[in-house]
Amino acid sequence: MSPDSTGHSVRLCHLYPDLMNIYADRGNIAVFERRLAWRGIGLEITEVSIGDELSGDFDLYYLGGGQDRDQDLVADDLQTKAAHMRAAADDGAAQLYVCGGIQLAGHGYVASNGDRLPGTGVLDLETTAGESRLIGDLVIDAHLPTEMAAGETRQIVGYENHAGRTSLGSGCQPLGRVVNGHGNDGASGFEGACRDRVIGTYLHGPLLPKNPWLADVVLGWALAHRYGDTAVELEPIDDSMEQRAHAAAVARANRDR
């Protein structure tokens, strides 16, 4: 999709859309597209899958979740793209990783059979498969550092279904603290990981339709990467429908507690 009426656009790299799209994770791309279009900003989407070269300058990278067999297929190919991903993160590009995505964005994932899938090392974390799955509605109090999102603490909601037990290193911080649900490992009380303009999370659903604040944070980072930190302002839009969906998800999580 080309630039819209403002002449501005975001360049998005969608990684493995044919394989990593469980729980309608592709819906997050639709949210990015619509929230930009409502503000007269275009979205240029490049899909990159197995065997494709990852080259060029992108403002936003996205990797969704997938079945274990799909992660197996993706992991080795992703190694050919890992250096690019790390360099892009260091350069200030926005990156969003969901479920299997967060596992592959770390240093590695040890599957239930003992095999270790290599990660990109964009996020300083390790994941090991547990004996049971962590499933259900998930609510977190997310706090992003001041440099990234004005130091706001906001609730984020979604759905988790993962066997992974993820532990964070010193090079990243949790996305938030669990209010309802399991989070990274079912024990630490933390969910997700973030550093600079990179976020990893186990929240499916898809994530962004019920969390418009987070969608705009990520889009703001992408625009800052493209045009500079103060070049493009995201105009407020009516999120009343999204807020109702958010509230319904929180209420359902409270009932299931």
Whole-angstrom Cα distance, residue 47 to residue 16? 7
Tokens matching residue 192: 């997700």
The one catalytic residue in 13, 14, 84, 99 is: 99
Tokens matching residue 88: 């892009």
DSSP per residue over 78-125, as a string?
A: HTTTHHHHHHHHHTT-EEEEETHHHHHHSSEEE-TTS-EEE---SSSE
Q: Is 172 a catalytic residue?
A: no
Q: What is the pairing mode between strands 116-118 and 125-143? A: unpaired
Pick from 129, 133, 140, 82: nearest CA to 103: 129
The one catalytic residue in 84, 204, 225, 246 is: 204
Sign of CA dihedral 246, 256, 20, 61: positive
Tokens matching residue 228: 């500079």
Q: Is 246 a catalytic residue?
A: no
Measure the N-to-C terminal CA separation of the chain; round to a whole number of Å.
Answer: 42
Catalytic residues: 99, 204
